[in-house]
Copies of this chain bind each other. A is one copy, B any other.
């Protein structure tokens, strides 16, 4: 049994949840309430010294951390269905897209950064929201630029089956929607996001369908 520590709103937890669902792996998720600061309690820091979610425990091994590293691990140990293409260049393209979303842009809007803006830089709520919306939009607009007119793009980011890049795209799209970011003008991103949510493994991994999420939004 796989045990995951996550949080309903966490984009990184969302990504790992989709992969577990796609690969048909049973797991049990314990929610770490990031809003309440539960990631800083000693018991959780012993699991993840970085105080971040998700952390994944498989059998008796040490905790796996960092969503992209966890996804690569799941792909190696449970290769089917594949989240990465078979060829090295295809894998490089998919990983590049995944990193564009999950590494270049997502880290800019996480709680610890939002807190620094408010507490250290005394940024007011409006300008803090503008910051969050700016980086969500930037990441997705850059994704659009990379995806559109590239023959490797199919029904999903790479061909016609969902993979690692799609997990990262959808987690950013859902975050953007949560913050009411205008992305209607990004047709490829929106088309792929819709294709993702039509798949049950993605749909039931969604933030708003997890324990602790607000009942309506």
- Known contacts A88-B76, A88-B77, A113-B108: does B145 contact A66 (CB below 8 Å)? no
> Is the Cβ of A68 less than 8 Å from the Cβ of B89?
no
- Copy number in the complex reads 2
A130 within 8 A of B: yes
> Is the Cβ of B120 less than 8 Å from the Cβ of A91?
no
Beta-carbon contacts under 8 Å, A130-170 to B:
130-131, 134, 138, 142, 145-146
Cα-based distance from A70 to B100 in the complex (angstroms) = 13
A25 within 8 A of B: no
Cα-based distance from A92 to B61 in the complex (angstroms) = 11
> Is the Cβ of A120 less than 8 Å from the Cβ of B116?
no
A103 within 8 A of B: yes
> Is the Cβ of A96 less than 8 Å from the Cβ of B69?
yes
> Is the Cβ of B108 less than 8 Å from the Cβ of A65?
no
A26 within 8 A of B: no
> Is the Cβ of A91 less than 8 Å from the Cβ of B73?
yes
> Is the Cβ of A142 less than 8 Å from the Cβ of B100?
no
Of the residues B76, B103, B131, contact of A103 by C-beta under 8 Å: B103
A208 within 8 A of B: no
> Is the Cβ of B50 less than 8 Å from the Cβ of A73?
no
Chain B residues contacting A146 (CB-CB under 8 Å) are 49-50
Of the residues B95, B117, B127, contact of A66 by C-beta under 8 Å: B95
> Is the Cβ of B113 less than 8 Å from the Cβ of A120?
no
Known contacts A69-B92, A69-B93; 15 further A-B pairs (Cβ under 8 A): A49-B142, A50-B145, A50-B146, A52-B104, A62-B93, A64-B89, A66-B95, A66-B103, A68-B103, A73-B92, A105-B107, A107-B108, A112-B138, A120-B127, A121-B131
